């Protein structure tokens, strides 16, 4: 700010000086014209009066005029000296102005860099404040949730749990099933029949059809659908050395290791409420299976444990023994053929 005001003041003085110089130059021009005219007149007078007669009007310059001419010449010389001195002063001032301008440019550059650095620090500070505000809001939210959980815990601890009446079913000692089994699947409170025997027959036919063309090692295949279910199984083909009398022969052996059973789509099955409301569905699916030698095995998922107890009461009322196979959520129903399969435990 101070550099700008100083420069403006110098500019005003410079204009005034130019006006003075212009006036002095005009005066010098007038003096030169006057001196030239008087010099010409004096020279004409000094020439011999040979060719032209003297002008009756012309006369010699007097002492007063010569003194006036000398005075004007002295003033002109003084004005010229003042003009040269002013020119030197102007050059000095121009040099100082250039130095001040260069200094001002440097200061402006430093000011710009300082402002940029200040803005960067301000941005960092704003970002830190913003992150702190976000963390504070999250902490406040967590505190509110913690207070709600503490209140809910207090209510649960002070609340008397409801009394649930459990009906007793006469259950004999558990025993391994060696008779026929009917397999059901209970998931999402939907009941469906797993056609184990039909899919096992499909696996056997597909195995006999493709086993001879399999390479040594493990491979997989799939059969179905049968009643909405597919079976995916793993085959293992190996070459083994066997004794054939007095000779040793190489024999190729293929077997089904494990199989999984699952429906083509989810959810699948009849809603358990419809099954329990009417005996028709169970009567149709259990027809042809004698109650005294048949076990109803239900593969139960965690979301349907409550429905399984109701279904078990219905099965018991029809005279069938029942067995449950808990299945993990998201897992299909596996059967291990390598160990000879598994049998349910009926009650």
Residue of higher predicted confidence among 82 and 304? 304
The model's pLDDT over 336-346, given as tens digits with 9 standing for 90+, comes to 765 544 444 44
pTM over 0.75? The answer is: no
pLDDT beyond 70 at 160:
no
Give the helix/strand (H/E) hosting 75: helix 63-158
219 and 108 in one domain? no
Structure tokens at 59: 């006369």
Among residues 129, 164, 186, which one ends one of the domains?
Answer: 129
**In angstroms, what CA-CA distances link 40 with 45, 47, 60, 61?**
9, 11, 12, 12
Instruction: Tell me how crowded residue 281 is: count the other CB atoms within 10 A of its CB.
Output: 15
Residue 335 binned pLDDT confidence (cut-offs 50, 70, 90): confident
pLDDT at 271: 93
Residues 220 and 108 in one domain: no
Q: How confident is the model at residue 288 (pLDDT cuts 50, 70, 90)?
A: confident
Q: What is the mean pLDDT of residues 85-102?
A: 87
Unique residue bearing structure tokens 């005001």: 5
How many structural domains compose the chain? 2
Last residue of a domain, one of 96, 129, 162: 129
Q: Do 115 and 186 lie in a common domain?
A: no
Torsions phi, psi for 54 (to 5 deg): -65, 140
- Quickly state the pLDDT bin for 301 (edges 50, 70, 90): very high
Q: Given CA atoms 261, 263, 267, 271 in this order, what sign does their dihedral have?
A: negative
Please check whether residues 106 and 230 belong to one and the same domain.
no
Q: Which of 195-209, 230-244, 287-301, 313-327 has the lowest mean pLDDT?
A: 230-244
* Cα dihedral 291/297/301/303 (nearest 10): 10
Q: Tell me what pLDDT residue 338 has.
A: 59
Are residues 221 and 335 part of one domain?
yes
Residue 167 domain-assigned (yes or no): no
Contact 243, 250 (CB under 8 A): no
Say yes or no: 316 and 214 in one domain. Answer: yes
Distance of CA 19 to the CA centre of its chain: 71
| Listed residues 129, 151, 186: the one ending a domain | 129
222 in Cβ contact with 202 (< 8 Å): no
Contact 235, 207 (CB under 8 A): yes
Percentage of the chain with pLDDT > 90?
Answer: 14
- 139 domain-assigned: no
Encoded tokens for 100:
């001040």
One DSSP character per residue, 157-196 reads: HHSPPPP-----------EE--SEEEEEEEETTEEEE--H
Query: Regarding predicted confidence, which is higher, 155 or 269?
Result: 269
Are 184 and 117 in a shared domain? no
For residue 173, pLDDT over 50 is answered with no
Q: Half-sphere exposure of 104 toward its Cβ, with a 13 Å CA cutoff?
A: 13
Is residue 57 predicted with pLDDT exceeding 60? Answer: no
Q: Quick one: 180 and 291 in the same domain? A: yes
Is residue 170 predicted with pLDDT exceeding 60?
A: no
Residue 148 lies in a domain: no
Structural domain contains residue 311: yes
Residue 80 has pLDDT above 50, yes or no: yes
List the one residue out of 82, 77, 91 whose CA is nearest residue 35: 77
CA nearest 285: which of 162, 186, 346, 194?
Answer: 194
Instruction: Please check whether residues 123 and 9 belong to one and the same domain.
Output: yes
Does 102 fall in a domain? yes
Q: Note whether 125 and 23 are same-domain residues.
A: yes
- 264 found inside a domain: yes
Examine the pLDDT at 7 and tell me if it is beyond 90: no
Is residue 124 located within the same domain as residue 180?
A: no
User: Is residue 113 situated within a structural domain?
Assistant: yes
- Ranges 156-160, 218-222, 230-234: which has the least confidence: 156-160
What is the structure's pLDDT at 43?
A: 64
pLDDT-wise least confident of 94-103, 105-114, 210-219, 292-301? 210-219
Specify the range with the lowest mean pLDDT, choosing from 95-109, 141-155, 156-170, 188-202. Answer: 156-170
The CA-based diameter of the chain, rounded to the nearest angstrom, is 178
For residues 189-209, give the mean pLDDT.
88
Compute the distance between CA of residue 241 and CA of residue 106 in angstroms, rounded to an integer. 95
Q: What's the pLDDT at 172?
A: 43
> CA-CA distance, 232 to 199, in Å (whole number)?
10
165: in domain: no
**Max mean pLDDT range (19-33, 34-48, 249-263, 292-306):** 292-306
Residue-range definition of the domain harbouring residue 223: 175-346
Contacts of 253 (CB under 8 A, 6+ apart): 237, 238, 239, 240
């Amino acid at each position: 700010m101070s550099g700008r005001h100083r420069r403006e003041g110098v500019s005003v003085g410079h204009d005034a000086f130019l006006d003075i110089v212009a006036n002095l130059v005009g005066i010098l021009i007038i003096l030169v014209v006057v001196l030239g005219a008087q010099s010409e007149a004096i020279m004409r007078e000094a020439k011999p009066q040979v060719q032209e007669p003297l002008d009756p009007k012309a006369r010699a310059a007097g002492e007063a005029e010569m003194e006036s001419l000398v005075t004007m010449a002295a003033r002109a010389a003084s004005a010229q000296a003042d003009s040269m001195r002013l020119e030197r002063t102007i050059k000095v001032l121009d040099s100082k102005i250039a130095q001040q301008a260069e200094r001002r440019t440097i200061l402006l550059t430093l000011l710009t860099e300082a402002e940029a650095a200040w803005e960067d620090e301000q941005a960092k500070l704003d970002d830190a404040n913003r992150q702190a505000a976000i963390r504070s809001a999250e902490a406040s939210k967590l505190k509110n949730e913690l207070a709600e959980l503490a209140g809910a815990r207090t209510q649960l601890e002070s609340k008397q749990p409801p009394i649930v009446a459990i009906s007793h079913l006469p259950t004999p000692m558990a025993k391994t099933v060696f008779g026929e089994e009917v397999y059901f699947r209970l998931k999402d409170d939907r009941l469906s029949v797993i056609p184990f025997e039909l899919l096992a027959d499909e696996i056997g036919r597909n195995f006999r059809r493709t086993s001879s063309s399999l390479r040594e090692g493990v491979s997989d295949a799939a059969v179905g659908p049968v009643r909405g279910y597919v079976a995916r199984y793993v085959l293992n083909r190996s070459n083994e050395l066997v004794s054939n009398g007095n000779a040793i022969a190489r024999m190729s052996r293929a077997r089904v290791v494990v199989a999984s059973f699952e429906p083509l789509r989810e959810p699948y099955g009849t809603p358990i409420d419809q099954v329990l409301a009417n005996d028709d569905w169970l009567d149709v699916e259990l027809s042809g299976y004698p109650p005294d030698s048949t076990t109803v095995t239900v593969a139960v998922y965690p979301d349907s444990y409550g429905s399984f107890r109701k279904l078990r009461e219905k099965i018991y009322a029809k005279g069938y023994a029942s067995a449950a196979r808990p299945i993990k959520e998201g897992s299909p129903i596996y059967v291990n053929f390598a160990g000879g399969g598994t049998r349910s435990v009926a009650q």
